[in-house]
Structure 1
Amino acid sequence: MSPEPQPLQMTAAVLTRTEQPLEIVSDIALAPPKRGQVLVKLAYSGVCHSQLMEVRGLRGPDAYLPHLLGHEGSGKVIAVGEGVTKVSPGDLVVLGWIKGNGLDGGSVRYECGCLGQTINAGGVTTFNEYALVSENRVVLLPAGIPLDIAVLFGCAVPTGAGIVTNDLKPDTGSTVAIFGLGGIGMSALIATMLFDCARVIAVDVSDEKLALSRSFGATDIINAKSSDPVAALKALTQGMGVDYAIEASGQVSVIEQAFASIRRGGGVCVFASHPAHGSRISIDPYELICGKQIRGSWGGGSNPDRDIPLFAKLYLEGRLPLEKLLTHRYALSQINEALDDMEHQRVGRPLIEIDGGLGAAA
């Protein structure tokens, strides 16, 4: 089979101004990949809370406008630059923000006649038909994994499930509370099924997400909109508090609740969320002296080249039912609708369909 010709231009969703909708731009020029870069034709992209924060201007001043967005996706390699050995044209791949093996091709700049200015991009973007990405941001798609499911291996699964499997590794008979049931929180919840936990308690403000969490192994659910989650968790643990709390909502107040909910004498609170720029958490230092621990997690401590094949194996064995996370699908032209639905908690992990037929065509 002859290699697919490199396209001359693409369509992408571009952030031109914060606090404004993304612009769908169709005349973005594509250049051949440089050293350490891979040209990928996107099949699907996920939408993470991080992109919502960027679009809404909650990451602070944005020095890179206009720029592309998205950091989890799947697609097919069209061309590779000098020095790239990890993948070849025709390979199906997972794209993610967590650095793995391979060269770092650096940032990318795309020319665009419509906007009349250069469009910036980092080591990986996925709200676009094609992407020039660094070799260290792609992983070969494990055999048997559908391209839509593959999107979740770019961020949600390595971060959420990684917190459980890499950072915490819950002890047998332990109690775990998960605050925030978006893609990362749900992935963490699913991963607790790999351990022999006595109680796994899901905390959210959405009855729909809480109901879904039951099928992912939650033994108890708490709607934080109608009850005090810290008091409820203490009641479920005879006043002691949980052994582990995972915070994935992206809100300072919820990080504080998660820390308050863990037990003294060894309770651990881990968060991977990134609240709005300038936010600060407030905790009682005496609780640290009493043996509580709090720490952040960078991508669930995951190494994509090591962990994606492991998570893929668990999925194929039916132990990580990730298909249940993909409840809402959108076209690239509907990206702003997907962001609005995420903001108003109408969806967990939006899936953007860019070219879903790639797997069948490969």
Structure 2
Amino acid sequence: MSNTVKGVISRVKDEPVELVDIVIPDPGPNDVVVRIQACGVCHTDLAYREGGINDEYPFLLGHEAAGIVETVGERVTHVAEGDFVVLNWRAVCGECRACKRGEPKYCFDTHNASKSMTLEDGTELSPALGIGAFAEKTLVHEGQCTKVDEKEDPAVAGLLGCGVMAGMGAAMNTGEIKRGESVAVIGCGGVGIAAIAGAKLAGASKIIAVDIDPTKLEWAKDFGATDVINSKDADPVEGIQGLTGGFGADVVVDAVGIPATYKQAFYARDLAGRVVLVGVPTPDMTLEMPLLDFFSRGGALKSSWYGDCLPERDFPMLVDLHLEGRLPLDKFVTERISLDAVEQAFESMKAGKVLRSVVEI
């Protein structure tokens, strides 16, 4: 039997979001209904609202979520009613060419729910990243649910669903940081700070944070940065080289994703160093650089999609590390808000006042 619940939608480009009644259908054979307990406010949700993803309005926003499996479809085996889960947007298919060659992190056919959530008048909703979790309940494919330790705070666990995992994975999975290496992170928003936390967890000896905001640089120190550079006041390439014996960092993570910061990352690395792009460029951005520089510097230039994570492997591990006191995931939660405060949370995000606002339901 379908459920009518409250949810936050974006109905029109650039207009404030609305808290409305939405209809959650009965799950299909491999779908589950999850009762949402907490959902982080991510920049991707704002991008949906502003038309930066596509124009398939209305959107049901929210995707960094944790909650309890409430109802399961008849063929579901992956989770059971009552399980505490973190939602993900990489429910790998196991059948595409990436999965078959042993690289499911690049799965080309990830699963989503088989039915649409709707407004009360029947208008179909486009769920953000196939999740749509600014709602009391949501409908997802069973593979989008990753069971984690139920002792974890839902507000903390849910953040692994996107930004925190993207940043930590960029450092640990894509960047393959080794113990004792030097790392620089350009851009210290939520994803960049997570990359710093990941670099520390991986055993980096020097972690250099770069940003133009002194508050964010203080956050970076709190998560493990050994040095900070305010790029308003100093050239970041020269600064990173100066802190690494003149050579540059072994790994540089660009958590901004614009041509200027990518060039900084490229030239701030050591010879044969690695550049990791995790900040998401817009479609209109282009990059012009001497081709000879790519050849002469060697190394690796990588893009990090969702931190190259595998939710079933990474989410439980990171939750366990937090519960053991070895990873300060709770520090990412700046404020806890209600469903009707999402629009204000977007303003706080744009002003750089928060690492994460988290909706608690």
Q: TM-score if structure 1 supplies the norm length?
A: 0.88
Counterpart-to-counterpart distance in 1, 2:352 and 2:339: 20
Whether 1:64 and 2:56 are equivalent positions in the alignment is: yes
Q: Does 1:39 align with 2:46?
A: no
Unaligned runs of 5+ residues in structure 2 are 95-109
| Identity between Structure 1 and Structure 2 (%) | 33
TM-superposed CA distance for 1:84, in Å, is 0.9
RMSD: 2.1
**2:102: which partner in 1?**
none
Structure 1 residues 143, 77: closer, same or farther in 2, change over 3 A? closer
Residue range with higher mean Cα deviation, 325-334 or 104-113 = 104-113
Q: Is the 8 A contact 1:176 1:242 kept in 2?
A: yes
What are the equivalent positions in structure 2 for 1:316-327 lying under 5 Å apart?
Answer: 316-327=323-334
**Alignment of 1:228 onto 2:259:** no
Q: What is the alpha-carbon distance in structure 2 between the residues aligned to residue 336 and residue 84 of structure 1? A: 35
8 Å contact from structure 1 (residues 179, 245) kept in 2: yes
Comparing 81-90 and 153-162, the one that deviates more: 153-162
1:110 pairs, out of 95, 100, 117, with 117
Question: Structure 1 residues 36, 281: closer, same or farther in 2, change over 3 A?
Answer: farther
Report the residue type matching 1:99 in the other structure. A
**Cα distance in 2 for residues equivalent to 1:131 and 1:339:** 21
Tell me if structure 2 keeps the 8 A contact 1:108–1:123: no
Match of 1:55 in 2: 49
In 1, the alpha carbon distance for the partners of 2:145 and 2:176 equals: 26
Which residue identity lines up with residue 304 of structure 1 in the other structure?
Answer: P
Change (3 A) 1:97 1:105: closer
Give the TM-score taking structure 2 as reference length: 0.89
User: Within 1, Cα distance between the matches of 2:260 and 2:228?
Assistant: 19
- Are the aligned partners of 1:123 and 1:134 in contact in 2 as well (CA < 8 Å)? no
Distance 1:148 1:100 in 2: 25
Q: 1:256 to 1:19 in 2, by over 3 A?
A: farther
Residue of structure 1 equivalent to 2:278 = 272
CA contact (8 A) 1:41 1:130 kept: yes
Question: What are the within-5 Å matches in structure 2 for residues 185-264 of structure 1?
Answer: 185-264=192-271
The answer on whether the counterparts of 1:107 and 1:123 sit within 8 Å (CA) in structure 2 is no
In 2, the alpha carbon distance for the partners of 1:29 and 1:128 equals: 10
**Does the aligned pair in 2 maintain the 1:247–1:255 contact within 8 Å?**
yes
Aligned position for 1:360 = none
User: Does 1:288 pair with 2:294?
Assistant: yes
Partner of 1:8: 3
Residue 314 of structure 1: which of 298, 318, 321 is its match?
321
1:78 equivalent to 2:74? Answer no
Aligned equivalents of 1:82 and 1:278: distance in 2? 45
Q: More displaced, 276-285 or 29-38?
A: 276-285
Q: CA deviation at 1:64?
A: 1.5
Residues 48, 59 of structure 2: 8 Å contact kept: no
Structure 1: state its 5+ residue gaps: 1-5, 356-362
CA distance in 2, matches of 1:243, 1:100: 31
The Cα shift of 1:133 comes to 0.8
SS in 1 for 2:198: helix
Matched to 2:11, the amino acid is T
The counterpart of 2:12, out of the listed 17, 23, 26, is 17
Displacement of 1:158 in angstroms is: 2.5
Question: 1:63-109, CA deviations, whole angstroms, 9 ceiling, x for partnerless residues?
Answer: 42112122210111110112111111221111122225799344542
Between Structure 1 and Structure 2, how many residues are aligned? 344
Alpha-carbon distance in structure 2 between the residues aligned to 1:125 and 1:67: 8
Counterpart code for 1:41 = R
